[in-house]
Structure 1
């Protein structure tokens, strides 16, 4: 950089740099947030058998406890996105991680089903607020050429959190009782909060659009590229998807001319992010994202909750049913990285759409493979790999679809609406079991939501103003340059 006056597009600058140790730090911190999220989300499942034994309650009475965190997750996501687009990604992320840590500690002291349900709901609020902000922050610090794979790699933390939770619970509960699992799920996030405060930066795109100090942005960018100098520079956040340039000095139009004094012009912070997400430019794509994510989670949670029952009804022993079910999540990490890598090289929405098509094909094949255990096990593994990566990649796709000033809201609302699909998956599974549907019929039916999800993702960019590039097409163009 020269020492003369200059204008720096912060996203273009990040796109031009190698992935630095500073960005690796951000990836690790966001990975840890998602891992803590995974641990705490599944905590009740780990302690449920102990609750039944110690409190002498029926398994059915744990239903409200199980669903309380999911309800909180949805509400937390819906509320956190607009807040993050107004006051900052880091601020909301730090508060949400601290929040769910504190409420997890409080839940460890619960003495009844009712109190545990309430405390798990509050824990879920923090969990729901953390995830979309981790996605948004990571997407805004990753160069365009590796953005999808970086976000998907961060999401691998969720599977790791689940695995760590299972191993930790198996040791903690016999030695210290079920409250120790919730204590671990509280102490970890609170300790992580300190690291986030000390090491995690605010999004430079957010700072540029909301007219924060140039010196603060310069210090952050120099941690990405220490050799760069920004003396006398002003920073802007150019977003071709939104057709505007946000800057640290004023709000300017796409051509770069100041519009701060034009009638009716407003700083970006005065614009409600949700209004952008639901505006005519983004509304159709938003609805398609919601539809696809809803259907994806319906498939994922139906299989996660009901695979053991389906296998046992088919004639498998309890041990073999558990073994077959364990194959479902094993390929998630590899699938996330592979699909993310492909998304960074081709149009992301088409890659995700094709992934959902593969889900549809695989569930149909699984329905026909009950009699061949090796073949069935292979198909279950592949189905889990593809289904997990399809759902996970939706967050990277949403982050690429929305402009900076509404990105956290767009991602958060997709995650929040999608949680309804997760609840619906469990309920639909129960309904199908009640109707007496068998293994093959249930899997064949799941091809329908898979194809609906694929269609939604594929069509999300079809309606836009004449002459405008779609969000994902603009992102693909950046990668190709």
Structure 2
């Protein structure tokens, strides 16, 4: 086997492992939402407690994203991913044995730490497993695993495959990463050997604000914050908004499932767009399509068939947008601080994932209709597109003068 063929084989193996890890991550991210209808009565949880439990993982995700990126730069991408898989696997399994609300809360936060640490490593592993011209495609393949995992979790809930037992969701969600971790350790090739270790977390952070990186860092943070606001409003509020428009709960769940299925296709399209010879024009069209899809979902007549198609189109458009953003992030930093840079950007995005549902809750409390909520996401989507295009323009200028 030639050296080039060997590199392609090892890169393909890395991408398969990253994709499988992303599927498991997507499943575990939605595990709490799937389990809560049975878990809440078992523990006698009040609505505020349910809300706190569902959002608790997000706080862990923020810390995990920060630490996972730094570990990737210090100890390598493989070590960062294995530690993340073990962390969210162990604490997801431990959730099965929780006997109080306080234990549920702590274990979900700790599960979130592992989930948060995985994504920066997965983004960098995917981007670094292929040649530069195919990085968008590789990141989109990996990222497609997240909505696929979410669709599997939604399908399990819709079809009742968990037998109505909330324990099974967390047990399966915890065992999968524990099974995958040894394979990652043994089979993931050393594609990302650290060539220049960052001396400290502070030193790595300072490089993100060096003159050549400052504008890119700030625009990347803004894009991640606004982009994740939109995604998490749809993940958390879309079923309730659809029910408010007249759908049954079971029908709204089907639309949410189609959102995830559409998201898989959209992620793959986003990668192809990013890798095109002149991506700025297609990226602008992708973000315009995302804004149009939100408007469409807000004004569609309340009919299940139309809503299923609308949900799939919105999922495809919004997660196409997100895949483009994730593919852009590794391009903003040199190798030695790429893990730290991507990790902090993901952490800032997690702040957006908290702000988005809170923002929507405030709108609904003030009397906003479901259509109003969908329309409110349009300017956020447009701004995300503007910041992403600026980042791509800066990349093209760097390549032109290289």
Instruction: Normalising by structure 2, report the TM-score.
Output: 0.90
Query: Residue in 2 aligned with 1:346?
Result: 277
Query: Residue in 2 aligned with 1:215?
Result: none
SS in 2 for 1:279: coil
- The CA distance in 2 between the partners of 1:81 and 1:443, in whole Å, is 33
Query: Residue in 1 aligned with 2:45?
Result: 57
Q: Identify which of 344, 352, 372 aligns with 1:413.
A: 344
Asked if 1:39 is matched to 2:27, the reply is: yes
Cα pair 2:151 2:260 within 8 Å, conserved:
no
Cα pair 1:301 1:425 within 8 Å, conserved:
yes
- The CA distance in 1 between the partners of 2:307 and 2:85, in whole Å, is 40
SS in 1 for 2:247: coil
Instruction: Compare the two structures and name the one with the higher helix fraction.
Output: 2
Query: Residue in 2 aligned with 1:221?
Result: none
Query: Residue in 2 aligned with 1:251?
Result: none
Give 5+ residue unaligned stretches, structure 1.
1-12, 211-267, 463-469
Alpha-carbon distance, 1:151 to partner: 1.0
Asked if 1:200 is matched to 2:188, the reply is: yes
Alignment of structure 1 residues 323-334 onto 2, 5 Å: 323-334=254-265
Cα deviation code 1:218-274 (max 9, x no counterpart): xxxxxxxxxxxxxxxxxxxxxxxxxxxxxxxxxxxxxxxxxxxxxxxxxx5437322
CA spacing shift, 1:373–1:52, aligned 2, 3 Å: closer
Q: Identify which of 182, 185, 194 aligns with 2:170.
A: 182
Cα pair 1:328 1:381 within 8 Å, conserved:
yes
Asked if 1:171 is matched to 2:100, the reply is: no
Query: Residue in 2 aligned with 1:69?
Result: 57
Cα deviation code 1:301-320 (max 9, x no counterpart): 11222222222222334444
Alpha-carbon distance, 1:439 to partner: 2.5
Q: Number of residue pairs matched?
A: 398
Alignment of structure 1 residues 304-315 onto 2, 5 Å: 304-315=235-246
CA spacing shift, 1:477–1:335, aligned 2, 3 Å: farther
Cα pair 2:95 2:170 within 8 Å, conserved:
yes
- The CA distance in 1 between the partners of 2:99 and 2:275, in whole Å, is 49
Query: Residue in 1 aligned with 2:110?
Result: 122
Cα pair 1:17 1:143 within 8 Å, conserved:
no
Alpha-carbon distance, 1:375 to partner: 5.2
SS in 2 for 1:460: helix
Query: Residue in 1 aligned with 2:12?
Result: 24
CA spacing shift, 1:380–1:161, aligned 2, 3 Å: closer
Alpha-carbon distance, 1:461 to partner: 5.8
- Farther off after superposition, 138-147 or 178-187: 178-187
Q: Identify which of 453, 459, 471 aligns with 2:395.
A: 471
CA spacing shift, 1:203–1:187, aligned 2, 3 Å: same
Q: Identify which of 99, 102, 110 aligns with 1:111.
A: 99
Q: Identify which of 328, 331, 335 aligns with 2:266.
A: 335
CA spacing shift, 1:473–1:334, aligned 2, 3 Å: farther
Asked if 1:270 is matched to 2:199, the reply is: yes
- The CA distance in 2 between the partners of 1:48 and 1:320, in whole Å, is 18
| Structure of larger gyration radius | 1
Cα pair 1:84 1:91 within 8 Å, conserved:
yes
- The CA distance in 1 between the partners of 2:310 and 2:174, in whole Å, is 37
Alignment of structure 1 residues 67-146 onto 2, 5 Å: 67-146=55-134
Cα pair 1:291 1:453 within 8 Å, conserved:
yes
Give 5+ residue unaligned stretches, structure 2.
none
- Farther off after superposition, 164-173 or 431-440: 164-173
- The CA distance in 1 between the partners of 2:47 and 2:23, in whole Å, is 27
Query: Residue in 1 aligned with 2:379?
Result: 448
Supply the RMSD in Å over aligned alpha carbons: 2.6
Alpha-carbon distance, 1:348 to partner: 4.6
Cα pair 1:348 1:472 within 8 Å, conserved:
no
